[in-house]
Structure 1
Amino acid sequence: MNSKLLFCALFLVTFSLFAQDKKWSIEANYPITDEDQLNGVLDVGVKYRFVDLGIVQLGAGLGTALFSDRENYIYDSNIELDYKWKRILVQPTVFAEFSIPGLAKLKPSAGVGYSYLYDDIDHKQAEVGYNETDSWGAFNANLGLSYDLTNRFFVKIQYDYLNHRQRWLINADGPNSYRYETKWNTMNVFKAGVGFRF
């Protein structure tokens, strides 16, 4: 474990010595969502700034977040239910990062993209289990704010708004009659973390 940490530290120092333009950055965040069942695990991403217009830098990024939930309980006195839910969120975006005159360490940002969501749900009830998966795309818009601790390291917060269409299986006209209905659904994600520019 110590050798892996030493390797990572040497890797970052090497990049900081040879990369002076700081067009790249990597980030690690803790994500929180407004969906009650899902707990944030980790959000990581990489960004590249390809246009510098002075007061604003334009770039593209790719991030991924993991959310999970697990419940295990007994109902009706003797029936055990075990439920595991994982959601993976992949977010390619384009963004603008702004420089504020007189506040060089503070950098607001705004971005848009089209995100990919993947759900994996395992149910187990009284020794009988099944798995269901689903995936869909979502429009993504975000607002962020970073603060430079040094010329390389920074802390940041970000809000992501996702709007997507999702299919729901509903009972139509009786116990054995079902149909899918498509509805618009939103997901709000709040992130706080650290980053490194190189």
Structure 2
Amino acid sequence: MKQKLLLILLLIFSFKSFSQDSKFSLELNYPIPIDNFVGENYNGIIDIGADYRIINLNPVNIGISLNSGVFTNNSNQNNGVQDFKVTSYVIQPKIFGELDLESINKFHPTVGLGYTIMVFDASGSNNGLDVSSSSETQSGFNFNLGLAYDVSKKLFVQAHYDFVKLGVDNDVPDIKFNTNVNILKIGLGYRL
């Protein structure tokens, strides 16, 4: 385990040696689900991400990013009949545009478009039946708005809003409560 961590750290810091002005950044966020079934039934645990700025079109940087998050259900259903826990794993690849103006050089607004995959894993029992191998996946398009503020040349704080439009199966009603996911993310980032 220590060898893998050391290898990952070496790879990350070696990227910096190839460029004076790195195009990579890492982020750590606290996700807050708002409204709908995710907001009512889940608490955000963590969201981590990596960004890579591909092109500088002055004053806009175009890049790609990948975020992964974890949510856990907040409902206490331990009434003797239902005793299970659901964890949702979220994967969000996207492309983004970041505004980089000299007049507001510490602020960096972003707009992104991507795709979200939400995997819901259940463990425990429901009415005496084991649900530990139960898993369901939902996915849909993602629209993202964000704002980062530079604390220093490397460190920044940020807030992001994700709107996700999930597709639903035939047995789930196609209403906003089941399809529209809203997530607010607040966190820190580090430019490599």
Structure 2: runs of 5 or more not aligned = none
1:36 is paired with a residue whose SS is helix
Kept in 2: contact 1:27–1:196 (CA 8 A): yes
Structure 1: runs of 5 or more not aligned = 170-179
2:50 is paired with a residue whose SS is strand
Count of paired positions: 184
Kept in 1: contact 2:92–2:117 (CA 8 A): yes
How is 1:23-172 mapped onto 2 (pairs within 5 angstroms)?
Answer: 23-34=23-34, 35-69=39-73, 71-74=76-79, 79-125=80-126, 127-131=128-132, 132-167=134-169, 169=171
- The amino acid of 1:165's aligned partner reads G
2:157 is paired with a residue whose SS is strand
Kept in 2: contact 1:27–1:45 (CA 8 A): yes
Q: Which residue of 1 aligns with 2:20?
A: 20
Q: Which residue of 1 aligns with 2:191?
A: 197
2:135 is paired with a residue whose SS is strand
Following superposition, the deviation at residue 81 of structure 1 comes to: 2.5
Q: Distance in 2 between matches of 1:97 and 1:7?
A: 30
Following superposition, the deviation at residue 122 of structure 1 comes to: 2.9
Q: Which structure has the bigger radius of gyration?
A: 1
Following superposition, the deviation at residue 18 of structure 1 comes to: 6.1
TM-score normalized by the length of structure 2: 0.82
Q: Distance in 2 between matches of 1:167 and 1:9?
A: 41
More helix by share: 2
